[in-house]
Structure 1
Amino acid sequence: MGTIQEKPSVASSSSVGSTVVNEIRQTPILALIIFVPVVILLERFSPEAHTLLFVMSVLAIIPLAALLSRATEAVAAKTGDAVGGLLNATLGNLTELVISLAALQAGQYLLVKASIAGAIVTNTLFMLGGAFLFGGLKYHLQEFNRINARFQACLLFLATIAVLVPSLISQVDQPPALAVSQKLSLGLAIILIVVYALGMLFSLRTHRELFASVSHAEEHEKLWPVKLSIVMLVVVTLLVALVSEIFVGSVQVAAEQLGMTPAFVGFIVVALVGAAAEMTTAFSAARANRLDLSVGVALGSAVQIALFVAPILVLVSYFIGPEPMTLQFWRGAVTMMVVAAMAAALLSNGGRGAWYAGVMALALYAIFAFTLFVLPPATPS
């Protein structure tokens, strides 16, 4: 009997190993995983090589984000819509959250706020525009659920208004004291989290029939086993935290040496790196004529950042930051977020996607990125 019981264990281990190997073969971006041990060793033996550490940590975070995305998808699929939605809200932007927590603890609030604003704009314009472009180059017109897209766009617009309020009152003749701004941001953070929780209840439970897909979906990829997914979530989260600490520690000096500001790094680099895995999903789904999934990933991720990650960072800053963080952004970042939210509403209004719509969204993102690179904010809050 003992030998009979051993065989499933061996087979199970072999199955897990083959699953990981097949995943690496099917997803070339995971080959970058080699940079994880490289950056850890480099930081240990050459901590003064800030630029090299910065580049290596960026390359290391990309495959870790991809692994987190796959593991989260597998766990969420086994837990039902409600719990799965909560898991996606908590873990879907875990890479950005961990990077922001490391920056928060280091007191680099500019990097934190730039990464928040950049993630919202990048997901809304770059990811959505890229999906429209890649899908439109293969299909003349693609359809998606207009109700779902407009719902996400409305949530995103609500979040940008919440960010706009503390930023506006700081521009009056007699700006309020820092304590007032902190208290206002704390209240707004709680409101946003409640709105997001109720939005999940609305879309996943009470009115779930309104959010059904209208795309011609192909078969989903084979999901990982739940045990493997949970182990991967724990291990990869720890690795992301470790690499993020190296990234945050090197970003300031590296940015100066590369001619970039922390605002540009947070707005563009961190946002693109953190969303690399989701972009892969969104673009490949669009090419498979599953534009519903692409739109859901792009706008849903932006909404998670705005209504979940940003408020959580405000709350957590009371415990791990040098001082409480506010939702007061510099004027340029607020403008870009508001314009991105309006663009999302316009792009989702018709329920159809074409390649030139993607070109316009990508052009708007390029305008923002180039402007921020050439004229970074002088005194961001």
Structure 2
Amino acid sequence: MGFLKYFLIFIPISIVADLMKVSPMWLFLLSSLAIIPLAGVMGEATEEISFYSGPRIGGFLNATFGNATELIISFFALKAGLFDVVKASIAGSVIGNILLVLGASMLVGGIRYKVQKFNKKVVEVSASMLLFAVIGLTIPAIFTHTIKTEALTARYEWLSIGIAIAMFIIYLLGLYFSFYTHKDLYGSEHQESGEAKWSLKKSITVLILATIAVALESEFLVSSVEPMTHTLGLSEFFVGIIIIPIIGNAAEHSTAVLMAAKNKMDVAVEIAIGSSLQIILFVAPILIFISLLFKPMSIIFNEFELVAMIVSVLIVNRVASDGESNWLEGVQLIAVYIIIAISFLI
């Protein structure tokens, strides 16, 4: 957590701001600053629980709760009918993890160490699954973008549900692969040493309270998105693809960079790629299923979101090919992310 714990003061401040009906821009900012440390608290609580549950269940909990903050934010966005923001945040998380987080990790680690090595086999498995996932999103999008709108009938509404089911099954099989049949490949990542600092009761209590607080702050955040974007002249795409992923994954991002600085590039790369994989194969399908409770959301992304994700995944596969990284590769990844961010801002 480190300095992020001081951001917890923004929780009561944001609640007071909401009661006082302050400007949506200020409410958006305050709730964002409150969510960042809460995501870190959830991650820390999950890590503590893993000491009691064992490496396998602990690994599953980390995978499940790793993107819980963004899942909660997206739930409220779905409820508010902000489908473009939700889909943009899915694409933005993938792009941000691969380009910004991995790039920052390589840059920081590369400044301290000339060359950093990571487990090539593990990264190749994750990168291949990520490529499959993006292909799964691309094919239906190309299909719907190349036929006339009036040709779409009601049966195509089930297209997204079918894709979501296929991706979720692949996610479960991926967990089985990494925690059972090929756990030897992952080694240290799933068998971290150390002792629990909290009791199991405290860990579970903290996790529940942090989740409730994230839900409250997410409702503030989502309610202020539309008026805030109108006030500042920003597009909802920019908020979804750049701002929300950074807010929801800030704690996880800082962990990846710190691991790289300690020459633990294996962990940093796995956080960046693994988180992207969870977003597409776990979070996106869950959101599709949840949307059935309100208004069904399609999993069809626009052309620019697709191109940005495809380019990002191809870059990861290229980076994974040699099992090494340096600071220049980090700069290049960050530069591509900045170009994409500017494009969405305009």
TM-score band (shorter)? over 0.9
Q: Give me the whole-angstrom Cα distance separating, in 2, the residues matched to 1:318 and 1:56.
A: 31
Residues 97-118 of structure 1 show CA distances to partners (whole Å, capped at 9, x for unaligned) of 0000000011110110011110
Does residue 154 of structure 2 align to residue 182 of structure 1? no
Task: Please give the residue correspondences for 1:324-339 in structure 2 after superposition, counting only pairs within 5 Å.
Answer: 324-339=296-311
Aligned residue among 252, 264, 267 for 1:290: 264
Gaps of at least 5 residues in structure 2 are: none
> Once superposed, what is the RMSD of the aligned Cα atoms?
1.8
Q: Give me the whole-angstrom Cα distance separating, in 1, the residues matched to 2:215 and 2:51.
A: 25
Q: Which residue of 1 aligns with 2:79?
A: 105
Deviation of 1:346 after TM superposition, in Å, equals 0.8
Aligned residue among 227, 244, 261 for 2:218: 244
Structure 1 residues 127 and 314 mapped into 2: Cα distance closer, same or farther (>3 Å)? same
Does residue 286 of structure 2 align to residue 312 of structure 1? yes
Greater RCO (Cα-Cα under 8 Å, separation 6 or more): 2
- Asked if the contact 1:166–1:181 (Cα under 8 Å) also holds between the matched residues in 2, the reply is no
Deviation of 1:182 after TM superposition, in Å, equals 2.2
Structure 1 residues 72 and 188 mapped into 2: Cα distance closer, same or farther (>3 Å)? same
Q: Give me the whole-angstrom Cα distance separating, in 2, the residues matched to 1:335 and 1:147.
A: 26
Does residue 48 of structure 2 align to residue 74 of structure 1? yes
Q: Percent identity over the alignment?
A: 38
Q: Which residue of 1 aligns with 2:13?
A: 38
TM-score normalised over the length of structure 1: 0.87
Q: Give me the whole-angstrom Cα distance separating, in 2, the residues matched to 1:105 and 1:363.
A: 35
Larger radius of gyration: 1
Which stretch of the first structure deviates more once superposed, 103-112 or 251-260? 251-260
Residues 220-269 of structure 1 show CA distances to partners (whole Å, capped at 9, x for unaligned) of 69643322221111001001000100100001111121221111001000
Q: Give me the whole-angstrom Cα distance separating, in 2, the residues matched to 1:221 and 1:265.
A: 39
Residues 329-358 of structure 1 show CA distances to partners (whole Å, capped at 9, x for unaligned) of 111001111111111111111111111111
Gaps of at least 5 residues in structure 1 are: 1-22, 375-381
Q: Which residue of 2 aligns with 1:11?
A: none
TM-score normalised over the length of structure 2: 0.95
Letter of the structure 2 residue corresponding to residue 339 of structure 1:
V
Q: Which residue of 2 aligns with 1:354?
A: 326
Does residue 139 of structure 2 align to residue 165 of structure 1? yes
Q: Give me the whole-angstrom Cα distance separating, in 2, the residues matched to 1:366 and 1:274.
A: 19
- The aligned length equals 344
- Asked if the contact 1:89–1:308 (Cα under 8 Å) also holds between the matched residues in 2, the reply is no
Q: Which residue of 2 aligns with 1:121?
A: 95
Aligned residue among 163, 177, 202 for 1:228: 202
Structure 1 residues 137 and 337 mapped into 2: Cα distance closer, same or farther (>3 Å)? same
Letter of the structure 2 residue corresponding to residue 188 of structure 1:
I
Q: Give me the whole-angstrom Cα distance separating, in 2, the residues matched to 1:207 and 1:97.
A: 28
Q: Which residue of 2 aligns with 1:20?
A: none
Deviation of 1:287 after TM superposition, in Å, equals 0.6
Residues 293-323 of structure 1 show CA distances to partners (whole Å, capped at 9, x for unaligned) of 101111111100010000000011111x2x2
Q: Which residue of 1 aligns with 2:170?
A: 195
Structure 1 residues 51 and 63 mapped into 2: Cα distance closer, same or farther (>3 Å)? same
Matched position secondary structure for 1:327: coil
- Asked if the contact 2:87–2:301 (Cα under 8 Å) also holds between the matched residues in 1, the reply is yes
Does residue 178 of structure 2 align to residue 206 of structure 1? no
Aligned residue among 295, 299, 303 for 2:277: 303
Q: Give me the whole-angstrom Cα distance separating, in 1, the residues matched to 2:28 and 2:122.
A: 38
Matched position secondary structure for 1:212: helix
